[in-house]
């Protein structure tokens, strides 16, 4: 799951449906991406960073890093 993205989206008061609309994708597609089941396209990442007014690197961590942080175990 994209924890940081989830937190920033909630803090901004945006729903998954609103984010999906900004990316011109379905709400289900956005949900699957936020859950980490599918990857965001690089263009989508830049749009999200712009919408949330944060640096792209603050929002999206490499998958390997994300897994390690979530599990607490080095990979």
Sign (positive or negative) of CA dihedral 36, 73, 8, 60: negative
| Encoded tokens for 65 | 């890093």
% of the chain beyond a pLDDT of 70? 81
Q: Is 13 helix (H, G, I), strand (E, B) or coil?
A: coil
Domain layout of the chain by residue ranges = 3-61
Asked if CATH classification 1.10.260.40 holds for the domain at 3-61, the reply, yes or no, is yes
Query: Could you tell me the pLDDT band of residue 63, with boundaries at 50, 70 and 90?
Result: low
pLDDT in tens, 27-42: 999 999 999 999 999 9
């Amino acid at each position: 799951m994209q924890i940081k993205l989830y937190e920033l989206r909630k803090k901004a008061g945006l729903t998954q449906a609103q984010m999906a609309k900004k990316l011109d994708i379905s709400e289900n597609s956005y949900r699957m991406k936020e859950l980490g089941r599918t990857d965001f396209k690089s263009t989508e990442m830049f749009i999200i960073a712009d919408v949330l007014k944060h640096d792209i690197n603050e929002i999206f961590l490499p998958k390997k890093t994300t897994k390690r942080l979530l599990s607490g175990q080095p990979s």
